[in-house]
């Protein structure tokens, strides 16, 4: 049976590990807050009311696309498109094309950044693989103005980072919600993960200072996976009520290193 993402794709490996996924969405949470179209995320009120719940909801859609058979993945993409269209209809306005591209670009960028931070450097071919998967998602959604290859994406990604980010009142409010739902200790850890995984412009706009102790902690975390303690650490990152969701993020992949 044909799958949307090939069985041997590096994307399945990246999105088959809980720690990598959590880093992807730590980075995305930072950039979402800065995006000039963040008001669209506030329109329904669901994001500020339950940012962690929205994280796992988004993860569920992404993983459904990545690990499903081809037709089921297309149905999931079409459902995402329909949800956005219903929000547009309720607001009587259209989400800007660049805002759609920004979200797609985040998934590409933080997939690469998170895997390289926690695992190893990707080859150019593997980075192209990541781009191709999410390009196919964007193409199915009918997005316009997409780059056609990874090299073009790099240039457009830089342009989006320069033009589409702004620290405003909604940025500040969303970070208050992060802190409220995570608690002070986990919130500080989130900030440091974001400092490690986000592009310099993002961390500068947010005013996040990098702590010199955190990068060695990443090395310790990698070692913890060898001795099977990483589950305890993952559960320490997010509140206890998300224990089952965190455990469910780990899946076996057929990707060959």
Assess contact for 142 and 24: CB atoms under 8 A.
Answer: no
Q: What are the pLDDT digits (tens) for 3-39?
A: 999 999 999 999 988 888 888 988 999 999 999 999 9
Tell whether pTM > 0.75.
yes
| Residue 102 backbone phi and psi in degrees, to 5 | -55, -45
Q: What are the pLDDT digits (tens) for 68-77?
A: 999 999 999 9
**Residue 69: which region, alpha, beta or left (left: phi > 0; alpha: psi -120 to 50)?**
beta
What per-residue confidence (pLDDT) applies to 17?
A: 85
The ranges of the chain with pLDDT < 50 are 226-229, 252-257
Bridge partners of 35, per DSSP, are 165
CA distance 27 to 15: 15
Number of CB atoms found within 10 A of residue 147's CB: 18
What per-residue confidence (pLDDT) applies to 254?
A: 41
CA distance 24 to 113: 8
What per-residue confidence (pLDDT) applies to 229?
A: 42
What per-residue confidence (pLDDT) applies to 215?
A: 61
Assess contact for 1 and 83: CB atoms under 8 A.
Answer: no
What per-residue confidence (pLDDT) applies to 71?
A: 95
């Amino acid at each position: 049976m044909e799958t949307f993402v090939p069985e041997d794709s590096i994307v399945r490996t990246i999105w088959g590990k809980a720690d990598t996924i959590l880093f992807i969405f730590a980075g995305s949470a930072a950039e979402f807050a800065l995006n000039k179209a963040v008001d669209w995320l506030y329109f329904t009120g669901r994001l500020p009311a339950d940012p962690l719940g929205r994280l796992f909801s988004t993860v569920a859609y992404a993983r459904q696309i990545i690990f499903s058979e081809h037709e089921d993945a297309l149905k999931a993409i079409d459902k995402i498109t329909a949800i956005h269209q219903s929000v547009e209809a309720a607001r009587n306005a259209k989400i800007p094309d660049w805002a759609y591209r920004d979200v797609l670009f985040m998934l590409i960028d933080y997939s690469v950044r998170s895997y390289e931070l926690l695992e190893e450097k990707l080859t150019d071919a593997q980075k192209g693989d990541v781009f191709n998967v999410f390009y196919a998602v964007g193409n199915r959604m009918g997005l316009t103005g997409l780059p056609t290859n990874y090299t073009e994406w790099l240039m457009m990604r830089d342009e989006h980072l320069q033009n589409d980010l702004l620290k405003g009142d909604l940025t500040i409010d969303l970070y208050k919600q992060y802190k409220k739902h995570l608690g002070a200790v986990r919130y500080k850890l989130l900030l440091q993960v974001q400092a490690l995984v986000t592009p310099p412009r993002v961390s500068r706009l947010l005013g996040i200072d990098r702590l010199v102790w955190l990068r060695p902690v990443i090395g310790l975390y990698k070692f913890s996976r060898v001795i099977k303690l990483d589950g305890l650490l993952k559960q320490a990152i997010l509140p206890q009520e998300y224990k089952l969701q965190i455990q469910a993020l780990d899946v076996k992949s057929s990707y060959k290193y």
